[in-house]
Structure 1
Amino acid sequence: MIQGTTSDAGKSVMVAGLCRCLHRRGIRVAPFKPQNMALNSAVTSDRGEIGRAQALQAQAAGIAPHVDMNPVLLKPSSDQRAQLILQGRALEHMEATEFHDYKKVAMDTVLDSWRRLQIQYEALLVEGAGSPAEINLREGDIANMGFAETVSCPVVIVADIDRGGVFAHLVGTLELLSPSEQDLVQGFIINRFRGDIALLQPGLDWLEARTGKPVLGVVPYLHNLQLDAEDAIATEQACDTDEPLRVIVPVLPRISNHTDFDPLRTHPGVDLQYIGEGEVPPPADLVIIPGSKSVRADVAWLRHNGWEKYLQRHVRYGGKVLGICGGMQMLGAQVNDPQGVEGEAGTSIGFDLLPLSTTLAPGKTLRQVTGHLSDGGCFEGYEIHCGQTQVEPGTRAFVHFDDGREDGALSADNQIAGTYTHGIFDQGESCAALLRWAGLEAAVTEDREVLREREIDRLADALEQSLDLGAMFPQWFTP
């Protein structure tokens, strides 16, 4: 089990890389995250929902993602409320205090999934959540040491040296664990190191002497590592032209599946900017309104931050607008929530840029899809949304699925489009078609899947060179 001293210490990346290391040696390995809290999710082939990081880890292991790999997923809809998803199925929204009391039931679900995976695979690589040293969350823990102790799983703790304070993080985390939990800790990994390892060695020697635990490796900082983020928004870019296509995306308070835009961030002809609260949106060629876990609250946030007037001006001067999932809902006339699916029941006025209206309802549409865009470009993607959208008759569909269904809408002047489909930038053909629609000529692109494979191998190469895999996996690697 890989646990971390903090969020974003490198747990997800370590599990992905180690999955690939074992997979290369013919080991049947699978990832497992007992409890995840993230708004970036993936749809499995059996129409379940799991964290996107676990889907990436499954790819690294050479297997299809399955709901048992992430049996408990929490998708925050406010600071104190989240949707609970067990084994891929959305159940209900819970307050934080409610979920704390619900953990006994959730642990039973976790162990049920764990036992099934144990039967199918030789090795399971487990990812913790946040930090195991959160004192207020220790009671009934199912995400870190509570799970590790229940199944007697050895633990490695990873820390991010690029943040600073790495020795305090590691020593402090270990000190706050109980004696039985400390016994499970097999050692430490230091992540994202820059510089001469010789200058770090005295600190490593001190750490081992102070804790009695070995440092299993120091992983170098892998610049511009292009892997799907679990939740944090990646901002590194590959733009290398003086006249790029300018794309902006508002960072909604409950933005979801922003990994949709990673292919744009890594495109050499695209300048992608995320615009946060209080920031003035700059001139752009394309504005993308992303998915949201709280559509009505986020459309209110956009209005409060001046985006309605910005969009009106942007369209008036010929700019393109694309809404994906909740973003498409916001571009319509209104979003109705009569049953309070996302919070308080009511209706919100949309931006009225597309001839459609949406009514939210309990239950979630989850499916993998294939098809083509209205202007060409085949894709493989997925749908993950609540409610139904009614498009006015005579409106052009933006997406055509291979099963004969249509999705989304395209404005009569060809400036504004919307779709429920996630992943339409991932395939080179559909991404190129979208970029040409937005104004980028000769938009040559690479399939995201090809890039993911290359980056997973790059990560695994680095781990094989920097970690003592023989100490971590003596049955498969020669010490």
Structure 2
Amino acid sequence: MIQGAGSNVGKSMLVAGIARACVKRGMSVAPFKPQNMSNNAAVTADGGEIGRAQALQAMACGLDPLVDMNPVLLKPESEIGAQVIVQGKRFATMKARDYGKQKSKLMPPVLDSFRRIGKDRDLVIVEGAGSPAEVNLRAGDIANMGFASAANVPVVLVGDIDRGGVIAQLVGTHAVLPPEDEALIKGFAINKFRGDTTLFAEGMDIIAARTDWTPLGIIPWFADAWKLPAEDVMDIASRKGGAIKIAVPRLNRIANFDDLDPLTATADVTVEIIEAGRPLPGDADLVIIPGSKSTIADLAHFRAQGWDVDLAAHVRRGGHVLGVCGGYQMLGTEIIDDDGIEGAPARVPGLGLLNVRTVMVPHKRLALSEATYLATGDRVSGYEIHIGMTEGPDCNRAWLSLHGRNEGATSADGKVMGCYLHGLFAADAFRAAFLASIGKPVTAHDYTQSIEDTLDALADHLEAHMDIHQLLTLAG
């Protein structure tokens, strides 16, 4: 189990890299994360949803994503509450305090999933969440030491030297853990080192002496990490590419923004995440309104920033707009939630850029889908993960064919489009054709192969700087 001495130490990427390294050694490997918190979900081959990071880790293992790889997924809907997904399906919506009281009851399904995912495999690599040093959360824990103890899994603790204070991160974790939890940690590694790793040799010795954990290596900063799908939207914000400018307003509950990953990986494209309080840029070629976990609340947030005014001006200048899922719903004339599915019952006006309206419905649609881009006949693969049904005159100008039915809507002038299908831009031919249709041709780029190549490079990076053999020895 790879645990972190803090959040964002690189656990997800390390699990993917170690998994690919072991696959290249000829082993049968699977990823596992007991509990994840993310609105960036992936639809699985067995009809559920898991964290996007576990889908990437499955790819590193050469596997289709399955619900057992991430049995508990928390999808924040407000500052204090989240939807709880258990083994791929909605379990409940809870406030954080209530979830804290109930989470121990989820250990049995977590362990069931762990046993199933490990059946007939050489190795399962488990990813923790946050930090085990948060001992105030230890009671009922299923994400870190609670799981490691229940499943009797040896732990490797990873520190992030890029933030500074890495010796304190690791030695401090050792100091605050109860003895039975500390005994589960067998090794440690330092991640995100910039420069000459030999300069931290003494630091490694100090940590090893104070903890009695086995040092597994100092891992230099992996420069190509940006080429892998992002788990956090903030990982996209710093990616600058080419002359084509795509602006993406950062919604409070932005969800399933993996639609942006293939665009950020395209040499001719710059994707700019627009934070609250900033206007939408006047020189954007395309504005993408992404998915949302709370469409009505995020529409209110959108208006509060003045982005509705900016977007209307963008359209008047001849700019293009694409709404995906929740963004598609916002572009219509009205969103109707009479049953209070997203919160209090409400009917709110949309942005009015598409002549469609959305009615929220209790059933969430989860599906892997194959579609055709009607303008060119290009095939695309994607997924649907939404509540709500959208209908209206602009649906008569659908731009996708999905399972034999029309999907999506287009404004009369062709400048504004929306659809429910995520993952479109991973299809190279569609991506090129769509950008060409807005007058912005791009250089050909094999997106999926670039991810595979980056996973291979990451595996080689870890083989060079991390003692994989010793890690496997610790894993038994």
Q: TM-score, normalised by structure 2?
A: 0.96
Displacement after TM superposition at 1:395 (Å) = 2.3
Displacement after TM superposition at 1:238 (Å) = 5.3
Structure 2 distance, partners of 1:394, 1:72, is 36
- Identity of aligned pairs, percent? 47
Displacement after TM superposition at 1:475 (Å) = 8.9
Structure 2 distance, partners of 1:91, 1:85, is 5
- What is the aligned partner in structure 1 of residue 232 from structure 2? 231
Displacement after TM superposition at 1:391 (Å) = 2.7
Structure 1's 91 and 406: CA in aligned 2 closer, same or farther, altered over 3 A?
farther
Displacement over 4 Å in runs of 4+? none
Displacement after TM superposition at 1:444 (Å) = 2.6
Displacement after TM superposition at 1:92 (Å) = 2.4
- Point out where structure 1 has 5 or more consecutive residues left out of the alignment: none
Structure 2 distance, partners of 1:103, 1:57, is 25
After TM superposition, list the pairs within 5 Å mapping 1:122-201 onto structure 2.
Answer: 122-201=122-201
1:361-383: per-residue Cα shift (whole Å, max 9, x none)? 22210111111223223211111
Displacement after TM superposition at 1:315 (Å) = 0.5
1:136-186: per-residue Cα shift (whole Å, max 9, x none)? 311100000000001110000111111111111111122121111111101
- What is the aligned partner in structure 1 of residue 452 from structure 2? 453
1:332-352: per-residue Cα shift (whole Å, max 9, x none)? 011111121111111121101
- What is the aligned partner in structure 1 of residue 443 from structure 2? 444
- What is the aligned partner in structure 2 of residue 405 from structure 1? 405
Displacement after TM superposition at 1:105 (Å) = 2.4
Secondary structure of the structure 2 residue equivalent to 1:308: helix
Structure 1 distance, partners of 2:394, 2:461, is 55
- What is the aligned partner in structure 2 of residue 385 from structure 1? 386
State the AA in 2 paired with 1:387. G
Displacement after TM superposition at 1:119 (Å) = 1.9
Structure 1's 393 and 268: CA in aligned 2 closer, same or farther, altered over 3 A?
closer
1:53-105: per-residue Cα shift (whole Å, max 9, x none)? 11110110111111000000010001111111111111221111221122132
Displacement after TM superposition at 1:398 (Å) = 2.1
After TM superposition, list the pairs within 5 Å mapping 1:31-180 onto structure 2.
Answer: 31-180=31-180
Q: Are the aligned partners of 1:238 and 1:266 in contact in 2 as well (CA < 8 Å)?
A: no
State the AA in 2 paired with 1:397. A
Structure 1's 476 and 159: CA in aligned 2 closer, same or farther, altered over 3 A?
closer
Structure 1's 191 and 394: CA in aligned 2 closer, same or farther, altered over 3 A?
closer
Displacement after TM superposition at 1:231 (Å) = 2.7
Structure 2 distance, partners of 1:413, 1:397, is 13
Structure 1 distance, partners of 2:240, 2:317, is 28
State the AA in 2 paired with 1:379. V
State the AA in 2 paired with 1:408. G
Structure 1's 247 and 470: CA in aligned 2 closer, same or farther, altered over 3 A?
same
- What is the aligned partner in structure 2 of residue 354 from structure 1? 354
Displacement after TM superposition at 1:448 (Å) = 2.3
Secondary structure of the structure 2 residue equivalent to 1:189: strand
More divergent stretch after superposition (465-474 vs 231-240): 231-240
Structure 1's 423 and 447: CA in aligned 2 closer, same or farther, altered over 3 A?
farther
Structure 2 distance, partners of 1:352, 1:217, is 55
Structure 2 distance, partners of 1:179, 1:475, is 19
Give the length in aligned residue pairs: 472
Structure 2 distance, partners of 1:397, 1:114, is 42
Displacement after TM superposition at 1:269 (Å) = 1.0
After TM superposition, list the pairs within 5 Å mapping 1:263-282 onto structure 2.
Answer: 263-282=262-281
State the AA in 2 paired with 1:258. F
Structure 1 distance, partners of 2:394, 2:438, is 25
- What is the aligned partner in structure 2 of residue 423 from structure 1? 423
Q: Are the aligned partners of 1:188 and 1:213 in contact in 2 as well (CA < 8 Å)?
A: yes
CA RMSD of aligned residues (A): 1.5
- What is the aligned partner in structure 2 of residue 464 from structure 1? 463
Q: Are the aligned partners of 2:230 and 2:261 in contact in 1 as well (CA < 8 Å)?
A: no
Q: Are the aligned partners of 1:194 and 1:220 in contact in 2 as well (CA < 8 Å)?
A: yes
State the AA in 1 paired with 2:388. G
Structure 1 distance, partners of 2:275, 2:269, is 19
Q: Are the aligned partners of 1:395 and 1:411 in contact in 2 as well (CA < 8 Å)?
A: no
After TM superposition, list the pairs within 5 Å mapping 1:357-376 onto structure 2.
Answer: 357-376=357-376
- What is the aligned partner in structure 2 of residue 305 from structure 1? 305
Structure 1 distance, partners of 2:153, 2:139, is 19
Displacement after TM superposition at 1:198 (Å) = 2.0
Structure 2 distance, partners of 1:271, 1:117, is 39
Structure 1's 447 and 379: CA in aligned 2 closer, same or farther, altered over 3 A?
farther
State the AA in 2 paired with 1:413. D
Displacement after TM superposition at 1:392 (Å) = 2.3
State the AA in 2 paired with 1:458. A
- Point out where structure 2 has 5 or more consecutive residues left out of the alignment: none
1:258-306: per-residue Cα shift (whole Å, max 9, x none)? 2210111122111211000111221111000000001000000010100
Q: TM-score, normalised by structure 1?
A: 0.96
Q: Are the aligned partners of 2:359 and 2:390 in contact in 1 as well (CA < 8 Å)?
A: yes
- What is the aligned partner in structure 1 of residue 253 from structure 2? 254
Q: Are the aligned partners of 1:470 and 1:476 in contact in 2 as well (CA < 8 Å)?
A: no
Q: Are the aligned partners of 1:224 and 1:236 in contact in 2 as well (CA < 8 Å)?
A: no
Q: Are the aligned partners of 1:39 and 1:231 in contact in 2 as well (CA < 8 Å)?
A: no
Secondary structure of the structure 1 residue equivalent to 2:241: coil
Q: Are the aligned partners of 1:371 and 1:380 in contact in 2 as well (CA < 8 Å)?
A: yes
Q: Are the aligned partners of 1:355 and 1:391 in contact in 2 as well (CA < 8 Å)?
A: yes
Displacement after TM superposition at 1:200 (Å) = 1.2
Structure 1's 202 and 428: CA in aligned 2 closer, same or farther, altered over 3 A?
same
